[in-house]
Structure 1
Amino acid sequence: MAAQHSAQRSPWPRVGAIVLLLTALLSLIMIAFAWPATRSTVHDIPLAVAGPPPATAQVVQQLQANRPGAFEVTTVADTAAAEALIKDRKVYGAIDLTTGHPQVIVASAASPAVAQALQQVAQALGQSGAGAPVVRDLVPLPADDPRGAGLAAGALPLVLGGIVAAGLLTNLIAGIGRRVAGALAFAITGGLALTAILQYWLGSLEGDYWTNSGVVALSIGATAFTLLGLEALLGAAGLGLGAAVMMLLGNPLSGLTSAPEMLPSGWGAFGQFLPPGAAGSLLRSTAFFDGAGSGAHLLVLSAWAVFGLLLVGAAGLRRAGTGRGTPTPAAERETVSAA
């Protein structure tokens, strides 16, 4: 009996290997979430400067000297042109010199973090002797959520929604077609529910409820379909790989808590090609900017959804070619028990 009990114990090298694996995994999670947050800074932020050429040239030179690399400046002739660029999501804000007294125009709905950085620019302009500029919020956040906390916190549920849906459907539902139908239905109901919470309860969103719900639904569906397709082709390894990419790369690189341009160089742009980043930017566009600048993000989400469905279709064709159907969860359990 003692020998049998001893034989059931795992060898110490295996325990040590698992401990090292867990340590590496925990370190990877820490890097994925903490690195973008701690290295976030103002660089390459699109900014407009409006006014006569001599005045704009002086301000541009001052910005380049005081904060090199912080802004990508576009000069325009007047206030209307600067405001148009902000509303079209071409720039995050503007320095308006057309009246002779500097005015800083921000859009906190585009990014509270960038709006705060532009207010610091306004203070610096005031200290330079031009007088304290007036700061005007052209596209403010809702009064019920002036810091944008609800939208920033919504990044994680958007990612988890698709991951949890794929995981549960894979383990509890037999049949690829039924899994896809379940993911589609959940994307719709989840989109309606999450948007209702953000828009009507927390007051974090504005704009058309149905359009915003469609964005959230497309985000959930893009993630869920992709993970279902990976699982159908590669099994549990595919599901785990897809979940890791969405959670450890997509979520921290989404830029939803700050702005893509504030993340470490290149990573913010990369994050916009993953569902969480594209969904966050698209939701800002539909909620606060009448859909301006939404085309690229809509294309990214749609491409991920189609990619996932193509993977599902490829897995179905492979099963048909080999003459194997999708085993039901009950059959799988019976097989394991029999073994």
Structure 2
Amino acid sequence: MSEQYRTPPAEAVETDAPRPGPGTPRKLAAVLLGLTAVVVLMLCAFALPSVNGGPHEVPIGVTGPQAAAEGLRAKLDGPEWDVTVYEDTAALTTAIQEREVAGGLALGTGGIDVYTATAGAPTATGALTALGNAAADRQHVKATVHDLVPFPGDDPRGAGLAAAGLPLVFGGIFPAVLLTRLFPGHAHLRTRFAGVVLFSLLAGAAIAGCLQYGTGSLAGSYWLTALGLGLGMAALAMTFIGLEALAGFAGLGAGIAVMMLLGNPLSGLGSGPYWLPSGWSSLGQVLPPGASGSLLRSLAFFDGTGAAVPALTLAAWVALGLVLLLVADRRGGKTRHDGAAGAAEAETHAVTA
């Protein structure tokens, strides 16, 4: 039999097979510990806000006879409620509709009127209603609830709004990842920028249409709501592509991790911003998911009242992403220029030689 068809010895086969290196067990242990830490971090990020949830300095108003109103303010004002006394019921209801307070109590001899804005802070509304009922029971009168800003009749519990959190976050992640994969390199930075802008406009219009006309979860101006949703997704996607352009996959991964592990659970989209501890709530409103939720509530239920701060916050994130892109583009242009100069110099030396 010819040598080329002869079966190699078993020893040779075993020798040629790749073997684990000496650092493989340590590398595997590091990967497993890292994955475990990520899972625990995810659990803490999603569980701790829920476990520690409750009214935290919820701004509410009180009106009625001066002595009674001041007495109730002194009793309630503390870590759970931030109480303001209003001159009359009209002033209280105006403050609620202008988002100065989340709700309020109007004291009277015949009963207590509880004024709420469920669309602004659903969980705080429930706690305020329970507070009004308890105060009415102590006085042996009746509590009457008036919801000044309710959710639409087709979605009275606001389920559609609460469910929009993850789609909004993924609406920033997916275009950043896909555009980066399909149009890699510094030569396509402008293409990625244009893709993010166009996608945000299209996706904002589509999501607003589904929530407003499909599930009936939103009210207000459709086009303003669509622009607000698009701004929220642009803030995320622009930041992601900027991080990837400047720091590569590590920058993109870090940005996604922060928005998923902190931005989403701290957004307060389903509960309203008052149900988280004050520090966590403030952080959540600075990140794009929380700012998007606040902007969406303002545009969809309060005729734009209170929209300025979250809109400016999202615009700042868009600007940050754009700055990162410009820095990466300038760095890439400098690299290309240096490379071209080096090649020209080498060619000149070759010709001279």
Is TM more than 0.5 here? yes
**Residue pair 1:79, 1:98 contacting (<8 A) in 2 also:** no
Deviates more, 1:258-267 or 1:188-197: 258-267
Kindly state the Cα deviation for residue 8 of structure 1 after the two structures are TM-superposed: 5.5
Q: Structure 2: any 5+ residue segments left out of the alignment?
A: 1-12, 339-353
Kindly state the Cα deviation for residue 15 of structure 1 after the two structures are TM-superposed: 2.0
- Cα deviations by residue, 1:57-108 (Å, 9 ceiling, x for unpaired): 12223324xxx42110111111111111111111110101257531110110
The residue number in structure 1 matching 2:232 is 219
Q: Is 1:188 matched with 2:198?
A: no
Of residues 4, 15, 23, the one that matches 1:3 is: 15
Runs of 4+ residues over 4 Å off in structure 1: none
1-structure distance, mates of 2:201, 2:129: 39
What is the DSSP-based 3-state SS (H/G/I as helix, E as strand, rest coil) of the residue aligned with 1:97?
strand
The residue number in structure 2 matching 1:121 is 131
The residue number in structure 2 matching 1:32 is 45
Kindly state the Cα deviation for residue 129 of structure 1 after the two structures are TM-superposed: 1.8
Specify the code of the residue in structure 1 equivalent to 2:27: R
Q: Relative to structure 1, is the Cα distance of residues 61 and 194 closer, same or farther in structure 2, using a 3 angstrom cutoff?
A: same
The residue number in structure 2 matching 1:266 is 279
Identity %: 45
What is the DSSP-based 3-state SS (H/G/I as helix, E as strand, rest coil) of the residue aligned with 2:17?
helix
Q: Structure 1: any 5+ residue segments left out of the alignment?
A: 326-339
Q: Is 1:285 matched with 2:295?
A: no
**Residue pair 2:110, 2:141 contacting (<8 A) in 1 also:** no
Of residues 150, 160, 171, the one that matches 1:150 is: 160
**Residue pair 2:121, 2:273 contacting (<8 A) in 1 also:** no
- Cα deviations by residue, 1:167-207 (Å, 9 ceiling, x for unpaired): 11101114000011111111011101111111111111000
- Cα deviations by residue, 1:125-152 (Å, 9 ceiling, x for unpaired): 1221241211111111111111111101
Kindly state the Cα deviation for residue 244 of structure 1 after the two structures are TM-superposed: 1.0
Deviates more, 1:293-302 or 1:9-18: 9-18
What is the DSSP-based 3-state SS (H/G/I as helix, E as strand, rest coil) of the residue aligned with 2:111?
coil
The residue number in structure 1 matching 2:313 is 300
2-structure distance, mates of 1:256, 1:322: 44
The residue number in structure 1 matching 2:31 is 18
Of residues 97, 103, 112, the one that matches 1:87 is: 97
The residue number in structure 1 matching 2:121 is 111
Of residues 214, 225, 243, the one that matches 1:230 is: 243
The residue number in structure 1 matching 2:147 is 137
| TM-score, normalised by the number of residues in structure 2 | 0.88
Q: How does 1:243-262 map to 2 (within 5 A)?
A: 243-262=256-275
The residue number in structure 2 matching 1:309 is 322
| TM-score, normalised by the number of residues in structure 1 | 0.91
Cα RMSD for the two superposed structures: 1.6
Specify the code of the residue in structure 2 equivalent to 1:224: A
Residue-pair matches, total: 322
**Residue pair 1:50, 1:75 contacting (<8 A) in 2 also:** yes
**Residue pair 2:76, 2:83 contacting (<8 A) in 1 also:** no
